Amino acid sequence: MQKLDRRSMLTLLGAAPALFAARAAAVDVVEAPPAAGKILLPIGDATEAMDTLYPFFRIAEDGFQVVVAGPEARLYNMVAHEVPPDADVKWDITQERPSYHIQAEIAFRDVKPEEYVGIFVSGGRAPEYIRYDKDLMRITRHFGEARKPIGFTCHGVEIVSAADVIRGRTVTTVAKCRLDAEQGGAKYVDQAVVKDGHIISCRTWHDYAPFFPPFMKMLHAARK
């Protein structure tokens, strides 16, 4: 390695600011686009992680502001639901395990649904109890009455069924929630994705690849 003398070292140090400036100028600064509209994502403790995190990032990817709402504006515990492939004792349903956390920035009672373009209802165990929240029912009914895009997966059917927004519709959900769909007055079909008017549903997060292109198209159309 060539040893630099004092004069050469000072020359390099003097040129350093210009070199750093040139390097900075070559870096593209990516700025977030203006929000295309707000999409509501209602959750609670034991919301399923994959069900929730994929839409949280995918919808925002298209420039929408995804607003996470819960019974209170606080941090919530997500879970992972999976049938164990190597359990010593066979499981007929999914096993629940602790997962990531997610922050709800607003409580249901403070949500003004008229400010939102659409709603996405994820699954997990959370829908079993947050469907008793009167404000969440008020919010969900707004999207049904206003015919705004409603997307849901898995146990999310428990919320839209309780809010009576799927009556007369054809929907899909995880097979063990078929009764929730039918009790809500909907026709259940076992297929990956079902779109019926402004309501689109899928069985589980495994169906997100075919689900999200039409759902995103619905959201973009609704904000125009």
Give the pLDDT confidence of 159-188 residue by residue, as tens digits: 999 999 999 999 999 999 999 999 999 999
- What's the pLDDT band for 125 if we cut at 50, 70, 90? very high
β-strand 95-103 against 47-48: which pairing, if any? Answer: unpaired
Residues 6+ apart with CB under 8 A from 7: none
The answer to whether residues 36 and 63 touch, using CB atoms and an 8 Å cutoff, is yes
- Residue 154 falls in the annotated catalytic set: yes
- What's the pLDDT band for 94 if we cut at 50, 70, 90? confident
Catalytic entry in 121, 150, 154, 159:
154
What's the confidence (pLDDT) of residue 63?
A: 96
Tokens at residue 172, please? Answer: 């899909």
Mean pLDDT, the chain, rounded, equals 89
Tokens at residue 19, please? Answer: 């070199």
What's the confidence (pLDDT) of residue 83?
A: 75
Tokens at residue 222, please? Answer: 């609704």
* Alpha carbon distance 41, 109 (integer Å): 14
Q: What is the CATH number of domain 38-222?
A: 3.40.50.880
Mean pLDDT highest for which of 27-31, 34-38, 129-133, 220-224?
A: 129-133
**pLDDT reading at 153 higher than 80:** yes
The verdict on pTM exceeding 0.75 is yes
**pLDDT reading at 91 higher than 90:** no
Cα dihedral 100/104/108/114 (nearest 10)? -120
Q: Domain boundaries in the chain?
A: 38-222
Tokens at residue 212, please? Answer: 């999200």
